[in-house]
C-alpha cells in the first residue's frame, strides 16, 4: 500500500535526514516508526503526504508514484494526526471533526452525521462533546477528536506523528487501547511515529527501528524483542526486553494447567473425594452450561457425608482472560485480583488455568523460539540480557 524505494532526504544545509530508505507497508497494516530524537521518523512520514519532498527515490501509494499526484488531492486520501492536535479553537468539536468532509464538498447534514458517528467511535458522546470548543476538553479528549477528524473522510491511509505524546501515561495507555480497538474495526494502513518503545511494541503489527537516518530492523515486535538484528537495536529496545515481550506473547492452550473441575450441582462429598484423589487443594467450578463460575476449596476439616452441593462453598472467580490475550494482561490480572492463577476461556468454554509458573514457561518458550528461528550473528540472547 505504501512503498518506499531508495528514498533519501537531504536538507539544504547538508543534513541527511533519511538515507536510502526502502520498505513496504501492507494494506491494513499498522507500522510503528520508533527511534531516538532526530533519526528521521517525522521526515519519513511527511514525505508520504508531500509536506516534505524527497531528494531522491520514489514513494508509491497503492502502486502510484505520489510525486505525480497533486498534493492537495493526495492529502485527501491520507488522514494526519499530530501531537499538537491543531484543532480550530473557534469551531466546535463537531465542526472540527467535519472539516475534511466539508472540504470534500459533502452536504452539511451528511458531514455532520459522519462527524457524530466518528466521535462516537472514538468514545466521545457527540451529544455531549459535539457542541464544546477545544479548550473545554481534556488533553486526552482533544487527541481523540484529532483521530476522529483524521478518519472522518474515511481515508485508506493514516499518518500519526506522536499522537499520544502529550498526555500522561495513564491516559496514553487508554488511548492506545481504544485506538487498537478502533483499528481492528477500520483497518487503515497506518504509519505511526513514536519515540516510546513500549508504544511501538504494543501498537505495531510491525515496527521499524531507526538509527540515524536508516532503518536498523523492520519486523514484528516479537522478533525485534526476541532477536534484535544489531547491537544497536538490542541496546535501543533495552535490557528489559524480556519484560516487554510479555506484551506481545499470547497465552496459548499449551501454557495452561488442568486443575480438577467440578460442577455447581455436584454433591459436596463427591467433589471432596475428587480433590482428595487428585491431591488437589482446590478445583475450578463450572455451571450447568460448562461456563466458568469460580472455584472451591474443601475446608481442612472436610465435609459431612451428606453435606450439600458444591454451590454452597463455591466462590466467584472474576480473574479470567480469553486465550490469545497477551501475557502482560495475564500478569496484571493476577496482580489486580491478587490471584495465584487465572482462568483462560475460549469464548465461554473453560480451557484451563494459567499460573505464574505457566506464565514464566510461556515467556521462556517465546524467547527461545525466536532465538532458534532467527540466528543473528554477533547478538545472542545471553550477550544482550547480560548487557
Ligand atoms: N528543515 C530542516 N533543515 C535541516 N535539517 C532538518 C530539517 N528538518 C529536520 N532536519 C534534521 O533532520 C533530521 C531528522 O529529523 P526528523 O524530524 O525527521 O527526526 P525525528 O526522528 O522525527 O525526531 P523527533 O523524534 O525529535 O521528532 C534531524 O537531524 C533534524 O535536525
| 54 alpha carbon – ligand 1 mean position (Å) | 13
Please, what are the domains in the chain? 2-247 (3.40.50.300), 253-361 (3.10.580.10)
Task: Write the ipTM.
Answer: 0.92
What is the number of the ligand 1 atom nearest to the C-alpha of 40?
18
Strands 282-286 and 292-297: antiparallel
Ligand 1, atom 11: closest residue by C-alpha: 17
Q: Quick check: CB of 39 below 6 Å from ligand 1?
A: yes
What residues does 32 pair with on adjacent strands? 192, 207
Phi and psi angles of residue 322, each rounded to the nearest 5 degrees, phi first: -75, 150
- The pLDDT tens digits for 40-62 are 999 999 999 999 999 999 999 99
Q: Quick check: CB of 328 below 6 Å from ligand 1?
A: no
| 107 alpha carbon – ligand 1 mean position (Å) | 40
Q: What is the rounded distance in angstroms from the CA atom of residue 190 to the CA atom of residue 171?
A: 21
- The pLDDT tens digits for 323-355 are 988 888 898 888 888 888 999 999 888 999 999
Output the pTM of the full model.
Answer: 0.73
| 311 alpha carbon – ligand 1 mean position (Å) | 65
Of 40, 44, 191, the one to substitute when testing ligand 1's pocket (max ligand atoms within 8 A of C-beta) is 40
Q: Quick check: CB of 17 below 6 Å from ligand 1?
A: yes
* 118: three-class secondary structure by DSSP: helix
Q: What is the mean pLDDT of the chain?
A: 87
| 162 alpha carbon – ligand 1 mean position (Å) | 14
The whole-number average pLDDT for the span 279-288 is 91
- The pLDDT tens digits for 356-384 are 889 888 888 777 765 544 433 333 333 33
- DSSP classification of residue 251: P
Give helix 108-121 / helix 139-151 axis angle, nearest 10°: 130
Binned at pLDDT 50, 70 and 90, residue 26 comes out as very high
Of 4, 8, 13, 15, the one to substitute when testing ligand 1's pocket (max ligand atoms within 8 A of C-beta) is 15
DSSP 88-123: -TTS-HHHHHTHHHHHTT--HHHHHHHHHHHHHHTT
Q: Quick check: CB of 194 below 6 Å from ligand 1?
A: no
| 159 alpha carbon – ligand 1 mean position (Å) | 17
Cα distances from 251 to residues 200, 227, 324, 365, in angstroms, run 21, 20, 5, 12
Of 10, 12, 32, 39, the one to substitute when testing ligand 1's pocket (max ligand atoms within 8 A of C-beta) is 39
Ligand 1, atom 24: closest residue by C-alpha: 37
Ligand 1, atom 22: closest residue by C-alpha: 42
Q: Quick check: CB of 155 below 6 Å from ligand 1?
A: no
| 49 alpha carbon – ligand 1 mean position (Å) | 16
What is the number of the ligand 1 atom nearest to the C-alpha of 46?
18
- The pLDDT tens digits for 98-117 are 988 888 888 889 999 999 99
Give helix 327-336 / helix 356-373 axis angle, nearest 10°: 160
| 40 alpha carbon – ligand 1 mean position (Å) | 6
Phi and psi angles of residue 210, each rounded to the nearest 5 degrees, phi first: -90, 135
Ligand 1, atom 2: closest residue by C-alpha: 11
Position 20 scores a pLDDT of 93
- The pLDDT tens digits for 74-89 are 988 898 888 776 789 9
Instruction: Give the CA angle between residues 292, 354, 317 to the nearest 5°.
Output: 35
Q: How many CB atoms lie within 10 A of CB 338?
A: 7
Residue 197 neighbours by CB under 8 Å, 6+ apart: 34, 236, 237, 238, 244
Ligand 1, atom 26: closest residue by C-alpha: 37
Spacing of C-alpha 296 from chain mean position: 35
Amino acid at each position: 500500500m505504501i512503498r518506499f524505494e531508495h528514498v533519501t532526504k537531504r536538507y539544504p544545509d547538508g543534513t541527511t535526514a533519511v538515507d536510502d530508505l526502502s520498505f513496504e507497508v501492507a494494506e491494513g497494516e499498522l507500522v510503528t516508526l520508533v527511534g531516538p530524537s532526530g533519526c528521521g521518523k517525522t521526515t519519513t512520514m511527511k514525505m508520504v503526504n508531500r509536506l516534505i519532498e524527497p531528494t531522491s527515490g520514489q514513494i508509491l501509494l497503492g502502486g502510484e508514484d505520489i510525486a505525480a499526484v497533486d498534493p492537495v488531492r493526495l492529502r485527501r486520501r491520507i488522514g494526519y494526526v499530530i501531537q499538537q492536535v491543531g484543532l480550530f479553537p473557534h469551531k466546535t468539536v463537531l465542526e472540527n471533526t467535519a472539516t475534511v468532509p466539508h472540504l470534500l464538498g459533502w452536504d452539511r447534514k451528511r458531514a455532520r452525521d459522519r462527524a457524530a458517528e466518528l466521535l462516537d467511535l472514538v468514545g466521545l458522546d457527540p451529544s455531549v462533546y459535539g457542541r464544546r470548543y477545544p479548550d473545554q476538553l481534556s488533553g486526552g479528549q482533544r487527541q481523540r477528536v484529532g483521530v476522529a477528524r483524521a478518519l472522518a473522510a474515511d481515508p485508506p491511509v493514516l499518518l500519526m506523528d506522536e499522537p499520544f505524546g502529550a498526555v500522561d501515561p495513564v491516559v496514553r495507555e487508554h488511548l492506545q487501547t481504544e485506538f487498537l480497538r478502533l483499528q481492528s474495526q477500520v483497518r487503515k494502513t497506518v504509519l505511526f511515529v513514536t519515540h516510546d518503545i513500549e508504544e511501538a511494541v504494543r501498537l505495531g503489527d510491525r515496527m521499524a527501528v531507526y538509527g540515524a537516518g536508516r532503518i536498523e530492523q523492520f519486523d514484528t515486535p516479537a522478533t525485534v524483542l526476541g532477536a534484535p538484528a544489531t547491537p544497536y537495536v538490542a541496546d535501543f529496545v533495552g535490557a528489559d526486553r524480556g519484560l516487554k515481550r510479555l506484551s506481545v506473547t499470547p497465552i496459548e492452550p499449551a501454557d495452561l494447567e488442568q486443575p480438577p473441575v467440578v460442577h455447581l450441582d455436584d454433591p459436596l462429598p463427591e467433589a471432596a473425594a475428587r480433590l482428595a484423589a487428585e491431591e488437589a487443594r482446590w478445583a475450578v467450578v463450572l455451571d450447568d452450561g460448562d461456563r466458568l463460575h469460580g472455584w472451591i476449596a474443601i475446608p481442612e476439616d472436610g465435609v459431612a457425608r451428606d453435606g450439600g452441593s458444591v454451590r454452597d462453598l463455591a466462590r466467584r472467580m472474576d480473574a479470567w482472560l480469553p486465550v490469545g490475550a497477551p501475557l502482560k494482561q495475564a500478569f496484571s490480572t493476577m496482580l489486580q485480583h491478587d490471584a495465584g492463577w487465572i482462568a483462560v476461556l475460549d469464548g465461554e468454554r473453560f480451557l484451563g488455568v494459567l499460573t505464574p509458573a505457566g506464565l514464566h514457561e510461556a515467556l521462556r518458550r517465546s524467547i527461545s523460539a525466536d532465538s532458534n528461528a532467527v540466528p543473528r550473528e554477533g547478538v545472542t540472547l545471553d550477550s544482550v540480557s547480560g548487557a
